[in-house]
Amino acid sequence: MGRPPHSGGPAFRFTASEVAEMEACLQESNNAVPTREVLSTFADKFTNSPERAGKIIVLPKQVWNWFQNRRYAQKAKSVKAPGKLSVSPLPRAAAVAGDDSIPITIRNVPNSTLPFPSSGRSTMDNNVQMEFEAKSARDGAWYDVATFISHRMFETADPEVRVRFAGFGAEEDEWVNVRKHVRQRSLPCEASECVAVLPKDLILCFQEGKDQALYFDAHVLDAQRRRHDVRGCRCRFLVRYDHDLSEKSLPSPRNGLQIAFATCFERARGHGTKKQRDYCSNQHIEGHQFHY
């Protein structure tokens, strides 16, 4: 039910037939809110209907509210991304590995199977294509990898790969440390998946600056759980960006909050609530297998 009126009376609810009428009107008007006259007509008609006559007065404002909410809900539904979150026109980067872990997609994989030189994807045993991302030394942000150009090995240091970032040209290529600054792209956090995000988690967050907006590593300081509705997640997450230690309260996942793979797998192995474990286990099943 909706929020009860300030008068303290019972919560108001439109009947199915009223909704059907307004629904039809909305379609006829091409999803536009009807004129004030039409709203008043609806209100009068509903007020005088046999179900309400003498009991409940329907206000034009309530009819207007219904149209606004319905338009907003429909819009939200159509805009909702079917898969990964993408924030155009910037290339999407991804979430991070666990707090102190080396990216697990690299850690235990023999060098001969590392995804370079080749495209920024690799095929695992189960025919799952893997995509990678890399951290740029220029701005500290994470970008999708389009191609691994080449690689070089050192006797005393970690190997490096030359990376072509997705959406950028050769002039933006960089050598990056494989162990520290290359990892598998993570799954974006869908609205229903926010339960998997807990305080202290390392995540990826969209950060808007004056001239640009990029994805940076951040830690969750606090997670305020709120009930969801048809329009999605209403939780808020207080995060601290690792690169500048700034803090921000973000709604999730609309603003780019994404779940770290390793964090998920830790939970899948027994930590967190059952729901979180279920979710993370599903992530494991749905197309990704890793070596711990």
Q: How many other C-beta atoms are found inside a 10 Å radius of the C-beta of residue 279? A: 22
From CA 123, how far away is CA 115, in angstroms rounded?
Answer: 9
The reply on whether position 199 binds DNA by CB under 7 A is: no
C-alpha dist (Å) from residue 182 to 43, 93, 156, 282: 60, 11, 19, 24
Q: How far is the CB of 194 from DNA (least distance, A)?
A: 8
Q: How far is the CB of 191 from DNA (least distance, A)?
A: 8
Query: Strands, E, within the chain: which ranges?
Result: 118-119, 121-123, 129-135, 142-152, 160-165, 174-177, 182-184, 202-208, 213-224, 236-241, 247-251
Number of residues engaging DNA in binding (CB under 7 A): 39
The only residue of 55, 138, 210, 227 in contact with DNA, by rule CB under 7 A: 227
Q: Contact, 266 vs 259, CB < 8 A?
A: no
Q: How far is the CB of 265 from DNA (least distance, A)?
A: 19
The only residue of 52, 71, 107, 248 in contact with DNA, by rule CB under 7 A: 71
From CA 290, how far away is CA 292, in angstroms rounded?
Answer: 6
Q: Quick one: 35 or 123, whose CB is closer to DNA?
A: 35
Name the segment binding DNA (CB under 7 A); options: 124-132, 166-174, 196-204, 272-280. 272-280
The only residue of 192, 212, 246, 289 in contact with DNA, by rule CB under 7 A: 192
Return the residues of window 4-43 that contact DNA according to CB under 7 A. 4-6, 11-14, 19, 32-33, 36
Q: Which of 236, 209, 243, 233 is nearest to 220 (CA)?
A: 236
From CA 104, how far away is CA 123, in angstroms rounded?
Answer: 15
Q: Contact, 135 vs 181, CB < 8 A?
A: yes
The only residue of 45, 84, 121, 234 in contact with DNA, by rule CB under 7 A: 234
Q: How far is the CB of 76 from DNA (least distance, A)?
A: 6
The reply on whether position 66 binds DNA by CB under 7 A is: yes
235 token code pair:
């939780």
User: What residues contact residue 29 under an 8 Å CB cut-off, 6+ apart?
Assistant: none
Q: Quick one: 1 or 245, whose CB is closer to DNA?
A: 1
The reply on whether position 68 binds DNA by CB under 7 A is: yes
- Contact footprint for DNA (CB under 7 A): 1-6, 11-14, 19, 32-33, 36, 61-62, 65-66, 68-72, 75-76, 192, 195, 226-231, 234, 251, 254, 273-275
